[in-house]
Amino acid sequence: MKGLNKGLIALAIGGLSIGMTEFSMMGVLPDLAADQGVSIPTAAHLIAFYALGVVVGAPILVLITGKFPPKKVLAVLMILFVVFNGLFAIAPSYTLLEVSRFAAGLPHGAFFGVGSVVATSLAKKGREARAISVMFAGLTLANVVGVPLGTFVGHHYSWRFTYGIVCFLGLMTLLSIFFWMPDIPKAKDGNLFGQLKYFSKKRSWLLIAVIAIGTGGLFAWISYIAPMVIQIGGVDPDRLPIIMVLAGLGMFIGNLFGGKLADTVGAAKAAIFCFLAMVLCLLTVHFTAQFYYLTYVMSFITGMISFSVGTPLQMMLINDAKGAETFAASAGQASFNIGNTLGSYLGGLPIVFGLAYNTPVLVGCGLAFTGAMLAVAFRRNLKQHVVAAG
């Protein structure tokens, strides 16, 4: 048990590091835009560049490193993480910011893909989803502590210092993997052809669509949370870190709830429920955004509801990809970040056309509802497959 706890803690620290580099961008977005002399929607392209890096890097790095033990793979991925985030922190031009932000996303999906399979191998039977939620708890903890700290530092000093902190956390992750991660044999996934064969099934692409479209609801909200609460809710920019703490605390609780729900009722049912709850929550945000005190309340509730879907979706992939678990889990992370790209891009369109900063959440409603309907179709297809095979 002692080894199990330390192995999961190492993964959680990695989640904390990755969560801070991904979500701190939302908190420092106004400051970075002002520093670089670009509009907020233009600066938000850095969110999309990072997500694109995840999409490209996740499957490629998993396939390249598949023959090596997980501990070594996780360490190498974290070295890449530190190097590319360090380059982002010191980049002298906006073009280099875009390039380094893309590169910083490359190890993200592979880390969570490998880490998800490692977490399930360390878990007791029937508690696999909760083990994955421990790893993702680090990512959500970033939103409780790391992102508010990064937002404060970015607003009062420089967003570059924020990403200096990210690099320090990456080094801490590297040390924790070296000292705490047990030596686990490499996953017994199939060969390259066998892993790629998973995506020859229509159901696999349906699940990718569930994740890529549905999670866009989360990112349509969180990508523009800073300008929304300031411009619509009247929150003082100095109090923005409080908003980020509340959102992050909600994500932390929602992530753990999602893991328990997936172990209790099944991953697909849990995902459908969480998506529909997200729709209702985002609608509430839209109609209450102008009420100052409700801004704080809804930041917490929306974080909790919208992040509860992550672990159920990851479990759906792992359960459906026997023999290709690591590759499928990494593809899931790529899909999450397609959702990141869709949410931030589509959510920004109403702002580009002159609409208010609370309109992106309406785009998020549509994305989350579509995700729920696709999850229903996936569950129905899976049932038909089981009946046909039985």
Comparing CA positions, the residue from 149, 147, 154, 334 lying closest to residue 251 is 147
CA–CA distance, 372 with 366 (Å, rounded to integer): 10
CA–CA distance, 333 with 72 (Å, rounded to integer): 20
Quick one: pLDDT at residue 3? 41
CA–CA distance, 22 with 343 (Å, rounded to integer): 14
Quick one: pLDDT at residue 109? 84
Q: Identify whether the C-beta of residue 80 lies closer than 8 Å to the C-beta of residue 373.
A: no
CA–CA distance, 117 with 127 (Å, rounded to integer): 13
Cβ partners under 8 Å of residue 87, min gap 6: 96, 100, 103, 104
Please give the structure tokens belonging to residue 346. Answer: 């589509």
Q: Identify whether the C-beta of residue 217 lies closer than 8 Å to the C-beta of residue 346.
A: no
Please give the structure tokens belonging to residue 37. Answer: 């002399």
CA–CA distance, 226 with 23 (Å, rounded to integer): 12
Comparing CA positions, the residue from 145, 129, 122 lying closest to residue 10 is 122
Quick one: pLDDT at residue 139? 81
Q: Determine if the pTM surpasses 0.75.
A: yes
Quick one: pLDDT at residue 201? 79
Comparing CA positions, the residue from 218, 242, 219 lying closest to residue 229 is 242
Quick one: pLDDT at residue 166? 94
Cβ partners under 8 Å of residue 122, min gap 6: 4, 7, 8, 131, 182, 184
Please give the structure tokens belonging to residue 46. Answer: 């850095």
DSSP of 350-370, one letter per residue? HHHTT--TTSHHHHHHHHHHH
Comparing CA positions, the residue from 339, 356, 355 lying closest to residue 47 is 339
Return the residue matching tokens 């129905």: 380
CA–CA distance, 379 with 106 (Å, rounded to integer): 31
- pLDDT per position in the chain (390 positions), as tens? 344 468 888 999 999 999 899 888 877 888 898 888 888 878 888 887 888 888 888 888 887 887 788 889 999 999 999 999 999 999 988 899 999 999 999 999 889 888 888 887 777 777 777 788 888 888 888 878 887 888 889 888 999 999 999 999 999 999 999 898 888 776 655 555 666 777 777 888 899 999 999 999 998 998 888 889 999 999 998 888 788 889 888 988 998 899 889 888 888 999 999 999 999 999 999 999 999 999 999 999 999 999 899 889 988 888 887 777 777 778 887 888 788 778 988 998 999 888 999 999 999 999 999 999 999 999 888 777 655 555
Question: How far is C-alpha 306 from the chain's CA centre?
Answer: 11
Quick one: pLDDT at residue 194? 62
For 308, list phi and psi in degrees, rounded to 5: -70, -15
Within 13 Å of residue 90, how many CA atoms lie on the same side as its CB? 7
SS3 307: helix
Q: How far apart are the first and last CA of the chain?
A: 37
Q: Identify whether the C-beta of residue 46 lies closer than 8 Å to the C-beta of residue 98.
A: yes
CA–CA distance, 10 with 33 (Å, rounded to integer): 34
Cβ neighbour number for residue 280 with a 10 Å cutoff: 13
| Structural domains of the chain, ranges and CATH numbers in brackets | 2-389 (1.20.1250.20)
Q: Amino acid letter at 218?
A: L
By CB neighbour count within 10 A (0-12 exposed, 13-18 middle, 19+ buried), where does 164 fall? middle
For 44, list phi and psi in degrees, rounded to 5: -65, -15
Q: Identify whether the C-beta of residue 65 lies closer than 8 Å to the C-beta of residue 192.
A: no
**DSSP category for residue 190:** -
